[in-house]
């Protein structure tokens, strides 16, 4: 089976096309069915009016593709055929192409924080079934929340008067922070995270979350992305599906994301 080439709302608006300002970043290659590191890349592209296609791989397809040249996902196949690696670099590259988001050292550090444990660890807890967690050497949910809470509290302090970490203009690292918070809040430890962080700091973080998701381009991308995601048996795969699963427990469906 060949990889799926798919566009997920990361192209420029009609107005941008008419002005001939469309910038092509190439093709983002990532796993099919996961709401993970591909998301901040797509949001940054959508906000900046950058055309970014998707090539979605199954785990089996990735096993065959993985090599010394392409050791991990995601990566971007650029229009000139060159491969661009490292999620933080991809986010920065897409923001630079778009020319609308803040690109500076503060955003780089935010993006690195977002791409590292404990912030990014929300992704496997959400996207993978619990029996797979030991394969990734994940801490217990309780220990993870203990490690995560001080990072989130620091981020709440760093927001200052907001609405974004850099003030009035969003930066590329914030797309990844938004993604982290989103997955943390819909994941299996949401209630524990809220309790550990505290109401005041959670209010600041969620105000940022609410503001960022309404940004032009980002809002449309989020509205159009797949609502179903996650590996079979994962917490994500069961979101909002309790009633459906009770009626159709024998059917397995895997979605792009």
User: Tens of pLDDT along 201-217?
Assistant: 999 999 999 999 999 99
Strands 50-57 and 75-77: unpaired
- At 162, the pLDDT band (50, 70, 90 cuts) reads confident
* From 10-14, 25-29, 145-149, the region with the lowest mean pLDDT: 10-14
What is the rounded end-to-end Cα distance, in angstroms, of the chain?
18
**In the chain, which residue ranges form alpha helices assigned H by DSSP?**
14-18, 38-48, 59-65, 87-98, 105-114, 122-127, 141-159, 172-186, 190-197, 199-212, 218-224, 242-247
More confident residue, 249 or 136: 136
Residues 187-192, mean pLDDT to the nearest whole number: 98
User: pLDDT digits over 89-108, tens only?
Assistant: 999 999 999 999 999 999 99
- At 161, the pLDDT band (50, 70, 90 cuts) reads confident
pLDDT of 76 > 50? The answer is yes
Closest CA relative to residue 111, chosen from 172, 66, 167, 165: 172
For residue 6, the model assigns a pLDDT of 46
3-state secondary structure of 26: strand
pLDDT of 229 > 90? The answer is yes
pLDDT of 145 > 80? The answer is yes
Using DSSP, how many helices (H) and how many strands (E) does the chain show? 12, 5
For residue 240, the model assigns a pLDDT of 79
pLDDT of 3 > 90? The answer is no
Burial class (CB in 10 A: 0-12, 13-18, 19+), 251: exposed
pLDDT of 20 > 70? The answer is no
For residue 246, the model assigns a pLDDT of 36
Q: At which residue do the structure tokens 């988001």 appear?
A: 101
Whole-number Å distance between alpha carbons of 168 and 112: 21
For residue 5, the model assigns a pLDDT of 47
Q: Give me the chain's average pLDDT, please.
A: 88
Taking residue 233's Cβ as centre, other Cβ atoms within 10 Å add up to: 14
For residue 250, the model assigns a pLDDT of 41
For residue 21, the model assigns a pLDDT of 52
Whole-number Å distance between alpha carbons of 229 and 61: 18
For residue 254, the model assigns a pLDDT of 37
For residue 256, the model assigns a pLDDT of 38
Residues above pLDDT 70, as percent of the chain: 85
More confident residue, 256 or 201: 201
Residues 61-69, mean pLDDT to the nearest whole number: 94
């Amino acid at each position: 089976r060949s990889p799926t080439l798919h566009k997920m709302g990361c192209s420029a608006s009609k107005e941008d096309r008419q002005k001939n300002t469309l910038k092509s970043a190439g093709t983002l290659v990532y796993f099919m069915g996961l709401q993970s590191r591909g998301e901040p890349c797509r949001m940054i592209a959508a906000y900046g009016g950058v055309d970014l296609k998707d090539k979605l791989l199954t785990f089996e397809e990735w096993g065959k593709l993985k090599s010394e040249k392409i050791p991990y996902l995601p990566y971007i196949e650029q229009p000139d055929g060159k491969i661009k690696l490292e999620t933080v670099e991809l986010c920065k590259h897409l923001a630079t192409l778009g020319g609308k988001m803040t690109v500076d050292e503060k955003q780089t550090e935010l993006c690195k924080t977002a791409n590292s444990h404990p912030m990014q660890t929300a992704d496997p807890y959400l996207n993978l079934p619990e029996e797979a967690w030991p394969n990734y050497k994940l801490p217990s949910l309780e220990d993870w929340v203990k490690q995560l809470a001080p990072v989130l509290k620091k981020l709440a302090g760093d927001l200052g008067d907001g609405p974004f970490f850099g003030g009035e203009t969003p930066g590329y690292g914030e797309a990844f922070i938004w993604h982290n918070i989103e997955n943390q809040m819909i994941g299996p430890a949401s209630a524990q995270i809220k309790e550990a962080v505290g109401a005041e700091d959670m209010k600041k973080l969620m105000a940022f979350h609410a503001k960022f998701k309404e940004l032009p381009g980002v809002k449309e991308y989020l509205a159009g992305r797949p609502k179903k995601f996650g590996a079979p048996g994962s917490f994500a795969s069961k979101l909002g599906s309790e009633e459906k699963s009770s009626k159709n427990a024998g059917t397995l469906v895997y979605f792009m994301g």
